[in-house]
Structure 1
Amino acid sequence: MKNRIVILGAGESGVGAAVLAKSKGFDVFVSDLGEISPKYKEALNRYQLKFEEKKHTEELILSADEVVKSPGIPDTAPIILKLKEKKIAVISEIEFAGRYSDAKMICITGSNGKTTTTMLLHHMLKKAGLNVGLAGNVGESLAWQVAEQNYTHYVIELSSFQLDGMYDFRANIAILLNITPDHLDRYDYKMENYINSKFRILQNMKSEDSFVFCTDDEIIRTELLNCDTLAQLLPFSVQEEKEMCGWIENELLKIQYNENLFSMDKKDLSLHGIHNVYNSLASGIAGNVLQIRKEVIRESLSDFQGVDHRLEKVVRVRGIQFINDSKATNINATWYALESMEEPIVWIVGGVDKGNDYAILADLVCEKVSGIVCLGVDNSKIHAAFDGKVNTIVDASSMKEAVSQAYQIAKKEEIVLLSPACASFDLFKNYEDRGNQFKEEVRNL
């Protein structure tokens, strides 16, 4: 058994991994190059875990038998390169937690929609009375829950960064929603590296496991041709009906699994927009695989409340509807947001660009957007893409300024949409901070 485990990063996943490692008798050390938040420092002290912050002491880290790394630390970080040089295994918290649980693992990935689908499935499983935990990119650390709870099922949102550190972990149900360019800065700007990362969700699956995927996504379709998996393939589509497990027919959402046919009216879904039809189909198929009763699936898909910072209606001010879509950190998420709006839009966009191609949005912007507020330290790419294509395009260097300008540009019955298509780290702590500041400034109008 490996004796010394070092955890890099003392956020939710790192502290959770440390708690689990200690409960399994490992010698545990936690190291964070940044400052550890009071909440996690208190937990480290409560569990009597050794830790350091604002530095990585190499002799303490390079003496590890194995290292659990936070998904936010890139593989190119100097300490990671040194660990690899010494051939010390570096894994993710999810990989570590999976070793100590025989719960059913329902895992969701994709460039967009994974949080909504994860939360929707968790909502469905809870409603069905299953003993279920929520983990990964949302909810609490999987490792922490494995250490202290006795869940029989986990619904886990997996980012590509988490998948990169997973080797022996096995999903019982894997859902792949879509693959569009995202985080290419972490993948040497090579799309195939990012695609390979997403397809790691299939590794180790057996014939009794299920792979739920969107066949309308060309990248997924193409990649599956070269992919060997033992898992049962359960495709869904809104464009095709033949040989699908989930599809749309005459405005009805239909799912055929084994001998069972499930059907419900599309307009009864609680979440609107084409992207949410995909999320609902994926969740409905997983519900059928888990043999959840039809009425529970139908009820869950019709009463789910949605996710904070994802097309979240804030308030209407003088006839102008403000919508917080701060979670849209890439072009495709913003495409879905723009596509789902009926009224003219004043669009707040910008932040840390992850290799965005704004041309993908050009047609939608010309059709739906009346004004743009660029909210970022560097807005040159947004100007290059949209100058001359909309009536008004202005810059803002704070959320207060952005909301104020959008409010002045928007007319009654229009929408002010914060859907940045970029990461938030230039002006905000994270997308939640960005969304919360937006909501606060809107309420101050």
Structure 2
Amino acid sequence: MRLVILGGGESGVGTAILGKKKGYDVFVSDFGKIKGNYKEVLIINEISWEEEKHTEDLILNADVVMKSPGIPDKSPIVKKLLAKEIPVLSEIEFAAPFTDATIIGITGSNGKTTTTMLTHHLLKSAGLNVGLGGNIGKSFAWQIADNKYDSYVLELSSFQLDGIVNFKPHIAIITNISPDHLDRYDYKYENYIDSKFRITMNQTEEDYLIYDADDEAISEWFKTHTTKAKLIPFSLTKTFSEGAYIKNNKMEISINQEEFTMDTEHIALEGKHNMKNAMAATSVAKLMQIRKSTIRESLSNFQGVEHRLEKVLKIQNVQYINDSKATNVNATFFALDSMNTPTVWIVGGVDKGNDYNELMSLVREKVKAIICLGVDNKKIIDVFGNVVDMMIEVDNMNDAVRMAQRLSEKGDTVLLSPACASFDLFENYEDRGNQFKQAVKNL
């Protein structure tokens, strides 16, 4: 069996290692450059590869193809493979049959990384032998090749879910859905929503779907679709006999006739959106029969995710917060919503068709100054120019942070929450966040 892998990154190389171990004839092809550390792994494992090209003779003879999530279906080589009816799968689909571990799959437009990390933290703290993968950390396929985990917590992007056929998690979570990546879905929101719901398409009556019952797109989907999975909703406003909710500053969860309650003030994560992430993760812990005392302890000591509302430093009583992972308006909405002090907001980058008006009420209420950090800031200036007292444009992180220091006073917060992708001035959102943290430390 010939396995061809498009893309020589984390998921590609992980799949190559698993494929070789399972007796496939493996070939890795990357249209760009393959990073040195991955090249080394391929050479050590005697896996053949090419970079900066796709040689059709070596690809179109595949029995099965694993495509990295970053490669769109519209790319010429993928079109040719599909025309020849060669199966093109995601890493998740390829790898899943090679493990009988319990799989917890988490998707959503925002909050999925925090929910994934928190769920993993809850299970690991309870002594479970659990792996963490998917869209973060080490590739799922690679872990199956190297380790014997009893369960996996996987963060799944819509791109990864697009490439599944039979994959099914025992427990699925949809944190929320808001317009993102619409360029990959013919600019049709419903296509993107359907893509997220693929996470539950193969689930049976034995499986569980945990979802945000306050989310408009999710509620709409349920009006015209069904899933066989047992539903566990969570909400900030509604209460359930089966599900999770917040009432009188308490998180209350009822699953399979078992109750769990905890005061929200003891939960380490702050902000309404994080209460939702905590409800989702705790629902998983309850389904996995983790002891209540362990859940409480884990929720109170969880450190959060880097670049997601990460407190950097307090300087002259001004709190600097790195939320570089906010690459869309919805993520920034959550960030601004959780601000309790006058805020100097650093925003901007590559706009994916943002509607900034959604942030208007929060900006009026909380933001005293805006610093635009991007190559093209016209849209942001048009929307908020008359709303805040100060609006400044900069083209590098050091200037952004120095300017923020000048505009802030005791008791304020400086928030980097760009609502945009980072590729105009930075390598990626991590690079942007790290530059922010360094610039703050240099003040």
Distance in 1 of aligned mates of 2:389 and 2:186: 37
Q: Which amino acid aligns with 2:277?
A: N
Deviation at 1:370, TM superposition (A): 0.8
Q: Distance in 1 between the 2:142 and 2:8 partners?
A: 13
Displacement of 1:412 in angstroms is 2.2
Q: Does the Cα contact within 8 Å between 1:5 and 1:21 map onto a contact in 2?
A: yes
- Which residue pairs with 1:198 in the alignment? 196
CA distance in 1 between counterparts of 2:201 and 2:285 reads: 22
Residue in 2 aligned with 1:111? 109
**Offset of residue 225 of structure 1:** 2.3
* TM-superposition CA deviations, 1:161-185 (whole Å, max 9, x none): 1111111101100001110111112
TM-score in terms of structure 1 length: 0.98
- For structure 1, which segment, 49-58 or 327-336, has the greater mean C-alpha deviation from structure 2 after superposition? 49-58
SS where residue 381 of structure 1 aligns?
Answer: helix
Matching of residue 278 in structure 1 with residue 276 in structure 2: yes
Cα RMSD after superposing both structures: 1.1
Superposition map of 1:119-198 within 5 A = 119-198=117-196
Match of 1:226 in 2: 224
Trace 1:302-381 onto structure 2 (pairs within 5 A).
302-381=300-379
Which of 78, 90, 93 is the aligned partner of 1:92?
90
Paired position in structure 2 for 1:56: 54
Q: Return 269-278 or 283-292, whichever deviates more.
A: 283-292
Q: Deviations over 1:50-84 (max 9, x none)?
A: 11112211221222111111111111122212222
Could you say what secondary structure the match of 2:98 adopts? coil
3-state SS of the aligned residue for 1:342?
A: coil
Is 2:169–2:199's contact at 8 Å kept on the other side of the alignment? Answer: yes
Distance in 1, matches of 2:242 and 2:111, equals 20
Match of 1:66 in 2: 64
- How far apart, in 2, do the equivalents of 1:68 and 1:78 lie? 15
Measured after TM superposition, the shift of residue 289 of structure 1 is 0.8
Partner of 1:387: 385
Paired amino acid for 2:215: D
Letter in 1 for 2:290: I
2:266 is matched with which residue?
A: 268
Q: What's the CA shift string for 1:378-427, capped at 9, x where partnerless?
A: 11111121111111111111212222222222222211111111111122
What is the TM-score of this pair, normalised by structure 2? 0.98
Take 1:56 and 1:7, find their aligned partners in 2: how far apart are those partners?
Answer: 11
2:209 aligns with 211
The question of whether the paired residues in 2 share the 8 Å contact of 1:343 and 1:414 is answered with yes
Deviation (angstroms), 1:208 = 0.8
Give aligned pairs, total: 443
Letter in 2 for 1:218: E
In the alignment, is the contact (CA less than 8 A) between 1:237 and 1:244 conserved in 2?
no
- Asked if the contact 1:185/1:355 (under 8 Å) is kept, the reply is no
SS in 2 for 1:346: strand
Query: Which one-letter code corresponds to 2:173 in the other structure?
Result: I
Amino acid at match of 1:307: V
Please show how residues 3-42 of structure 1 align to structure 2 within 5 Å: 3-42=1-40
Partner of 2:254: 256
For residues 242 and 10 of structure 1, the distance between their equivalents in structure 2, rounded to whole angstroms, comes to 46
For residue 24 of structure 1, report the CA deviation from its aligned partner: 0.7
Deviates more, 1:323-332 or 1:227-236: 227-236
Shifted more, 83-92 versus 22-31: the winner is 83-92
CA distance in 2, matches of 1:424, 1:236: 32
Cα distance in structure 1, aligned partners of 2:103 and 2:225: 21
SS in 2 for 1:301: helix
CA distance in 2, matches of 1:163, 1:108: 11
The one-letter amino acid paired with 1:315 is: L
Q: How far is the alpha carbon of 1:305 from its aligned partner?
A: 0.6
The residue matched to 2:160 in structure 1 has which SS?
helix
Moved more, 27-36 or 140-149: 27-36
Amino acid at match of 2:367: V
Partner SS for 1:99: helix
| Cα distance between partner residues in 1 of 2:176 and 2:39 | 37
Secondary structure, counterpart of 1:422 in structure 2: coil
Given that 1:104 and 1:153 are in contact with CA atoms closer than 8 Å, whether structure 2 keeps it comes out as yes
- The aligned amino acid for 2:4 is V
Contact 1:236 1:244 in 2 (8 A): no
Given the alignment, which residue of 32, 35, 42 partners 1:44? Answer: 42
Q: Kindly indicate whether the alpha-carbon contact (under 8 Å) linking 1:67 and 1:89 is maintained by their aligned counterparts in 2.
A: yes
Q: C-alpha deviations, 1:199-250, integer Å up to 9, x for none?
A: 0000110111111111011111121122221111111111011444101111
1:300 match: secondary structure: helix
Kept after mapping to 1: 8 A contact 2:242/2:256: no
What one-letter code is carried by the residue in structure 2 that aligns with 1:76? K
- Distance apart, 1:319 and its partner CA: 2.2
CA drift of 1:15 comes to 0.6
Shifted more, 13-22 versus 224-233: the winner is 224-233
Residues in 2 aligned to 1:375 and 1:165: alpha-carbon distance in whole angstroms: 35
SS at 1:326's partner residue?
coil
Structure 2: gaps (5+ residues): none
Residue identity matched to 1:193: N
Structure 1: give runs of 5+ residues left out of the alignment: none
